[in-house]
Amino acid sequence: MYHDNFEVINVAASLRSSKALGPGNRAVLWVMGCNQRCRGCISPEWQSHEPVHWVNVKTLSQELLIDNPAVRGISISGGEPMLQSKSTTAMLRYARQYRDFDVLVYSGYTLDQLLVSSLPGVQDFLDEIDVLIDGPYRQELAVNGQLFGSSNQRIHFLSDRIKPQEITDWEHRLEIQVTEGQAMMVGIPDARHIAAFDSAIDRFHSQNSSQGISLSETHQEAE
């Protein structure tokens, strides 16, 4: 379920800059591994606990936060961040030695579950989180235009670094970011957005297949 090398994080993907997952300009980290198995999960390939890309916590701190002054904070999703709590806490605490920033985390566990959890490092991780968006994704309760995917999920303010009004005033958006031959849809899409994105990728392949140009796709969003 989780590894015992707390100096590295099993990373699914990361971005140095996005405005699609929380207030302001933010770094984003998606971790590998999840046990929730939510019906309708948009990124089932990130449920696996198999090693994908092990990255040292200090390296991630430098890349996403310390050497990235344009961002005000970081949003962390997955996968399930709580399964790598010790490593993620180490990353945040290292970066906070050098600068201040806020932390927004998505978890498929509820806050009540986390407060009594025996998963290694969860309580320390909660101490570093400013806003927690909790609860599993429920496809039958899906909502549009929110910072969460389904109406059962709740926003918890665990510090005053992020003000409630910043979440209330947050403007829903999706981003398409293309890096190293991969098109990424970042944000919290509904079924129409996903279908349009997939269709655009298919058209791109049809128009460029004769030239040997390809573009892989992934949907990178929150729980």
Distance CA 5, CA 151 (A): 35
Look at residue 64 in the predicted model and tell me its pLDDT: 98
Q: Across 78-87, 192-201, 211-220, which has the greatest mean pLDDT?
A: 78-87
Concatenate the DSSP letters of all residues of 153-196 into one string. Answer: -EEEE-SSSS-HHHHHTPPP--EEEEETTEEEEEE---HHHHHH
* DSSP letter, residue 150: B
Closest CA to 41 of 174, 194, 176, 178: 194
pLDDT band at 212 (very low <50, low <70, confident <90, very high): very low
Where are the chain's structural domains?
A: 8-174
83-142 residue pLDDT tens: 999 999 999 999 999 999 999 999 999 999 999 999 999 999 999 999 999 999 998 998
Say if residue 40 is preceded by a cis peptide, omega within 30 of 0.
no
Fold of 8-174: TIM Barrel (3.20.20)
Higher-confidence residue of 214 and 91: namely: 91
42-83 residue pLDDT tens: 777 878 888 889 999 999 999 999 999 999 999 999 999 999
Percent of the chain with pLDDT over 70: 80
Query: What is the H or E stretch that residue 213 is in?
Result: none
